[in-house]
Amino acid sequence: MRHFIDLSEWSSDELRHLIDLAVQLKQEWKSGGNPPILAGKALAMVFQKPSLRTRVSFEMCMQHLGGHALMIGPDEIGLGKRESIADVARVLSRYVQGIMARVFAHDHVVQLAVHASVPVINGLSDDQHPCQAMADLLTIYEHYGRTEGLRVVYVGDGNNVAASLGQVAAHFGMSFATATPPGFELSEAMLSPIRALASQHGGAVETFHDPLEAVRGADVIYTDTWVSMGQEVDAARKIEALRPYQVNAQLLANVGKPAIVMHCLPAHRGLELTDDVADGPQSVIFDQAENRLHAQKAILVHLMA
């Protein structure tokens, strides 16, 4: 039985199969609807964090595929507090055919997978956001018609989104660069396997502190919120350090070509990116949001059909 927790646990060929399946399922949906591949099956959606895209996209994925999704909020389980993670996993496995969890600590979703007898999907953790990365990859592929040889530059805080983005870029032959303030970089423990994977597929990994230097020649400029849920106590320090890393017209002018701009949302407009960029002709942020639906359908079909 497979789980979808961390992209490092999947081969490049397997992820390519998922993207091909996502393209097929999206075409089917646009042409009149998906067949009910998951009829009679249910997905438990366990949330420690609030959500717009994760909740609605997974719920609609299951509906489009003929199945059912069950929303379980933080007050209903108290994952690891009211009830042990192992017991939650074992109980849910008796009721449903899959579990999606959006958590704080990455170990919580790992432990769900250890003790569940059904597939577990990481809907987001503090370390990884693999479903978002697959939607991002689908968006890049749709825009350029390829992934090999493209250069993706992540600007801002080296967080979970940056980690999964680097992984998927490496799997699909893209070069990956980060531009972060000192002390906000992705860890070497995360970057080292991304470098090794990128070298196998003709890509490279670079790290910068100067965002203007980092974005030169980029095909994709990616940013995310500077203060994630659970980090509010440190917000003022982070915002001050990250102000020079705003994605704005000046930064895009330094790229030297019309790169697409990506953001996984929710966006704090006026902080990590400006309105004119978010709503401008280079922005594909709402394509990304839509593609959560189609990329996750592929994951669900692969794991649960």
Element (H, E) at 121: strand 120-124
Residue 167 annotated as catalytic: no
Residues 277, 252: contact at Cβ < 8 Å?
Answer: yes
Residues 156, 223: contact at Cβ < 8 Å?
Answer: yes
* Residue 302, token pair as written in the block: 């692969």
Q: Which of 132, 246, 288, 296 is catalytic?
A: 132
- Region for 18 from its dihedrals, namely left if φ exceeds 0, alpha if ψ lies in -120 to 50, beta otherwise: alpha
Rg of the Cα trace of the chain? 19
Q: Which of 108, 111, 131, 264 is catalytic?
A: 264
Q: Which of 64, 129, 171, 294 is catalytic?
A: 129
Q: Calculate the CA 27 to chain-centre distance.
A: 22
Q: Which of 126, 127, 136, 224 is catalytic?
A: 224
Q: Which of 3, 55, 64, 102 is catalytic?
A: 102
Q: Which residue has the tokens 């980090």?
A: 231
Residue 269 annotated as catalytic: no
- Residue 120 carries which DSSP code? E
Between CA 154 and CA 165 the distance in angstroms is 8
Q: Which of 48, 292, 294, 296 is catalytic?
A: 292
Residue 102 annotated as catalytic: yes
Residue 224 annotated as catalytic: yes
Instruction: Kindly list the catalytic residues.
Output: 102, 129, 132, 224, 264, 292
